[in-house]
Structure 1
């Protein structure tokens, strides 16, 4: 049975959603606790009942955004059985976030690159696609840990290139194909999978 959502849960979610909006639009340094509280519709003092510092809510908000984004990606490709295509879809969605919403991507990556908690909560989604691809013999890898570093490291570097203006939309499929090649797929197969259209993401739900 699903645990009922309490008033405290709702207020915490309001603060996290507000923090994501403030940090994405103004950056961490410019965004203030007072502004987050105002966007959330709560008193300034309420903030400290949930988070001790601005740094704490930055990490929590980015992790919430990342996990929710992964859940939406997962829902978008439940009808797809190919582990290689699922792997490409996951990475391409994050790259498209950098293309279409660079400030949001910058906010998320500011935490993703440094937070062990982010890694613990997001890595299982990648691992599931990796294991499916291995089971289907779509991938050939030296080790699971090395493969995860290849996937995450390449995507992080590509997101930074896009955010910094050194790459654009064409980089998305190229990176997906490069990762699939790195996981042992033949170049022709990797390129074909990488070029498949993305399934639509479902809307964010409360």
Structure 2
């Protein structure tokens, strides 16, 4: 994942806020500079192509979340435990960073890099769980299972963002129901859904 300078990070964060708030994928230099609190020249000096800024921000956000989730799994062997944590990481972050959650909600299904963020680690865990007998779906159903998981997580993020559920309740329910749908026994699914969730690791 490319390293961002402080100025680039500030501009990316401002762009994310504007994309999330407005629900659009294009911004003017003036609006971006105003939101970031920098001069127009600073934007020009730190953004290679303003027309592609949305794709750049989305790709960086996706890579950052993927790497942090992947890093958190270094000592977690069970694919069901990894999946349970992964689901709740997304829902908790939507609570902790509302504009991040809004951005994901608005654009995840229509942006390739964000879709990849959702499914890359989940695909590995699902295939391992299927091969080991932890899950009870057929391998040809993988795409449908991934769609089920991503849709459920986005729905839970919506409940949290709109204030209908707390992140803990939404995360617990979504995790338990998805694990049961994959074939994990009910009591075990419930226990995995309430295990202590560690902090997302920071990247070096």
Q: Do they superpose with TM above 0.5?
A: yes
CA–CA distance in 1 between the matches of 2:17 and 2:96?
Answer: 13
Q: TM-score, normalised by structure 2?
A: 0.81
Q: Which residue of structure 1 lines up, in the alignment, with residue 8 of structure 2?
A: 15
Equivalent residues in 2 for 1:124-139, closer than 5 Å:
124-139=120-135
After superposition, what is the alpha-carbon deviation per residue over 1:90-124, rounded to whole angstroms, capped at 9, x for unaligned?
Answer: 11000001222222211233221311232235421
CA 1:41/1:79 → structure 2, altered by over 3 Å: closer, same or farther? farther
CA contact (8 A) 2:83 2:125 kept: yes
CA–CA distance in 1 between the matches of 2:163 and 2:128?
Answer: 34
CA 1:107/1:185 → structure 2, altered by over 3 Å: closer, same or farther? same
CA RMSD, 1 decimal = 2.9
After superposition, what is the alpha-carbon deviation per residue over 1:53-104, rounded to whole angstroms, capped at 9, x for unaligned?
Answer: 3xx3233213311221121111112101000000011110000012222222
CA–CA distance in 2 between the matches of 1:20 and 1:111?
Answer: 16
Deviation at 1:52, TM superposition (A): 3.2
CA contact (8 A) 1:72 1:202 kept: yes
Equivalent residues in 2 for 1:92-131, closer than 5 Å:
92-131=88-127
Equivalent residues in 2 for 1:36-115, closer than 5 Å:
38=37, 43-46=42-45, 50-53=48-51, 56-115=52-111
Q: What SS is found at the alignment partner of 2:110?
A: coil
CA 1:59/1:110 → structure 2, altered by over 3 Å: closer, same or farther? farther
Runs (4 or more) in structure 1 with deviation over 6 Å come to none
CA 1:27/1:171 → structure 2, altered by over 3 Å: closer, same or farther? closer
Q: How many corresponding residue pairs?
A: 195
Q: Which residue of structure 1 lines up, in the alignment, with residue 192 of structure 2?
A: 193
Give 5+ residue unaligned stretches, structure 2.
Answer: none
Deviation at 1:187, TM superposition (A): 1.1
CA 1:52/1:191 → structure 2, altered by over 3 Å: closer, same or farther? same
Give 5+ residue unaligned stretches, structure 1.
Answer: none
Deviation at 1:204, TM superposition (A): 3.2
CA–CA distance in 2 between the matches of 1:43 and 1:28?
Answer: 23
